[in-house]
Amino acid sequence: MPGERALLAGVVAGLNDLDGAAGDPGYARLHPPVYLGDETSSSEWWRLMGDQLSQARDHDREVFDRVVAQSESVLSPDDARSFLRVVNQGRLVYAARLGIEVAEDLEELDEEEDIALWFLSYVVDDLSSVLAGFIH
């Protein structure tokens, strides 16, 4: 459905302008500390793993954009996992930028934000359930 596709694409577009330097909560959510209380070790982990993670996320995004652009309805499990990760990243960044840090913050959303987040949750849960069927 065009409206749902546009909503998905719109939320994922929020991944285009992640900005760590500007204190973007979306960026912070996708780059959290790995060693609590040890900034040196956390920085080292991100130094070693950050580029690889960034490349993996870029690959997932390419799959997502292709699927949406070509209106693909049948995906391989690998493509479906990429699609799932991107949609969930979009959710995380969207929610972080709305200031959602604890469950109670969800009650402060307006109707449009609430519906958007609910729809994205539905997509993530539905796809997770389908992919779980491929795990033996």
Partner 1 sequence: MPAPVIDIGTEDVVEDERPWQVIVWDDPVNTITYVIYVFRQIFGYSKRKATKLTMQVHNEGRAVVNGGPREKMEVDCYQLHSYGLWATIEQQ
Q: Answer yes or no: are the C-beta atoms of 34 and 28 closer than 8 Å.
A: no
Q: Which is nearer to partner 1, 71 or 86 (CB)?
A: 86
In the list 4, 5, 17, 34, the residue contacting partner 1 (rule: CB under 8 A) is: 34
Q: Which is nearer to partner 1, 7 or 45 (CB)?
A: 45
**Token pair 């459905």 in the structure block, residue:** 1
Count of positions on this chain that bind partner 1 (CB under 8 A): 36
Residues that bind partner 1 (CB under 8 A): 30, 32-36, 45, 48-49, 52-53, 56-57, 81, 85, 88-89, 91-92, 95-96, 100-103, 105-106, 117, 121, 124-125, 128-129, 131-132, 135
